[in-house]
Structure 1
Amino acid sequence: MFERFTKEARVPVIEAQFVARSAHTPTIDARHVLVALAESEIGPAVGALRTVGVDVGELARRLRAELAGIDAAALAAVGVDLDEVRRSTDATFGEGAFDGVGGRRGSDRKHIPFASDAKKALSLALREAIRLGSPSIDSGHLLLGILRGGSPAAKALHAALTRAGSDDDALRAAVERSGTPAT
């Protein structure tokens, strides 16, 4: 199925491996794919998210904190600004140093398998492409697959849409309007 993905849609699927590795998780779930999509900066998915008012940077940060097991709201309640901790850590130890806190060492070279919710999102992306008459799967289809999946990634996406004053239908319409290129 991966051969049906456009080049711009392959990037977040591949990058999800690195997101999972930085979070020190044993599998790649749909949240890792959603982080990679949000951070990709290109393609129908990011364009659609921005169209409906989602702050893709905030979405990625929230998901990365969730994946790291850090409850930013709980820390804020006791006076800890997670963004300030990250900036300070990055300034002292280098960009991205905070992302590896609390993780296991030595597993950086092993292949990380996809969890069932990520596999389901990829399968649903194919169904979305077929439904829309596209010969290939782009990042917009991948985003719609995540949205339909009912996973923690879908819940995070719903929450981001709600914060933006939007909803699933508006996101779906924005993806469909993007014309999802057939490259």
Structure 2
Amino acid sequence: MFERFTTDARGVVIGAVEHASRAGSPVVTEEHLLLALLDREGGKAAFALTSLGVTDRRAEVVEALAAARRRGGMSKADEDALAGLGISVEEIVARVEETHGPGALAGTERGKAWPSGRPSFTKGSKKVLEKSLRMALARKQKHIGDEHLLLALAAMPGMAGEVLAEFGGTYGGVERVLFGVGG
């Protein structure tokens, strides 16, 4: 599959591995893919992220990812559902951190690095890569570009996709900017 990746898409994957390594994570997550997409300049994904205003809010995106990590990766939808039942996730997080220290629910990503020490990919990040291939094939394109990685990330459930959507990077918005369809 990687032979189909464009230079920009390979740059995103390499950037995600670098983000994971800098964070001391043994695995590359969807979050690392999102951060790597935000780092890139000049590609189709960078154009889409800039057009949607996500690039200008990078610092806020990073904060939102950290907040979601602090909640143990719980989505806003999950938090809202629990709030509807009278359960305050913020209160639970505060109590856990009071007992076990700041970031106790963030934990570390499960998985092992390769014997070389290089981070491996989580199931979720592998699904993003696989979905990007399916999206390229559905568009009858023979390459996988960074735009397909961005579309896949926006389409996938989970913390990174939710944060991306929160800042304007919805699947429909990305599709509209890139291909003039959707909405």
Give yes or no for TM over 0.5.
Answer: yes
- Letter matched to residue 62 of structure 2: R
Contact 1:38–1:59, Cα closer than 8 Å, also in 2: no
Q: Give 1:135's match in structure 2, choosing from 119, 136, 142.
A: 142
Q: Secondary structure at the match of 1:121?
A: helix
How many residues end up aligned between the 2 structures? 138
1:168 maps to what in 2? 171
CA distance in 1, matches of 2:57, 2:147: 14
Distance of aligned partners of 1:59 and 1:137 in 2 relative to their CA distance in 1, 3 Å threshold: farther
Matches of residues 55-94 of structure 1 in structure 2 within 5 Å? 55=56, 57-58=58-59, 61-62=62-63, 65=66
Of 123, 126, 131, the residue aligned with 2:133 is 126
Q: What SS does structure 1 have at the residue aligned with 2:119?
A: coil
Q: 1:154 aligns with which of 147, 152, 161?
A: 161
Contact 1:28 1:118 in 2 (8 A): yes
1:11 aligned to 2:11?
yes
Deviation at 1:26, TM superposition (A): 2.1
CA displacement, residues 72-117 of structure 1 (integer Å, 9 cap, x when unaligned): xx9xxxxxxxxxxxxxxxxxxxxxxxxxxxx9xxx9x611100011
**Structure 2: distance between partners of 1:132 and 1:59:** 32
- Which residues of structure 1 form unaligned runs of 5+? 75-102, 178-183
Deviations for 1:47-75, whole angstroms, at most 9, x for unmatched residues? 011112222533553367458859xxx9x
CA RMSD in angstroms comes to: 2.6
The residue type equivalent to 2:176 in the other structure is: A
Kindly indicate whether the alpha-carbon contact (under 8 Å) linking 2:136 and 2:143 is maintained by their aligned counterparts in 1. Answer: yes
- Answer yes or no: is 1:25 the counterpart of 2:29: no
**Alpha carbons 1:4, 1:135 under 8 Å: kept:** yes
TM-score between both structures, scaled by the size of structure 1: 0.66
SS of 1:136 mapped into structure 2:
coil
Q: Are residue 53 (structure 1) and residue 57 (structure 2) matched? A: no
Percent identity for Structure 1 against Structure 2: 30
TM-score (norm 2): 0.66
Structure 1 runs of 4+ with >2 Å offset: 55-70
- The answer (yes or no) to whether the contact 2:21–2:118 under 8 Å persists in 1 is no
Amino acid of the residue matched to residue 45 of structure 2?
A
How much does 1:132 deviate? Answer: 1.5
Q: Distance in 2 between matches of 1:126 and 1:46?
A: 19
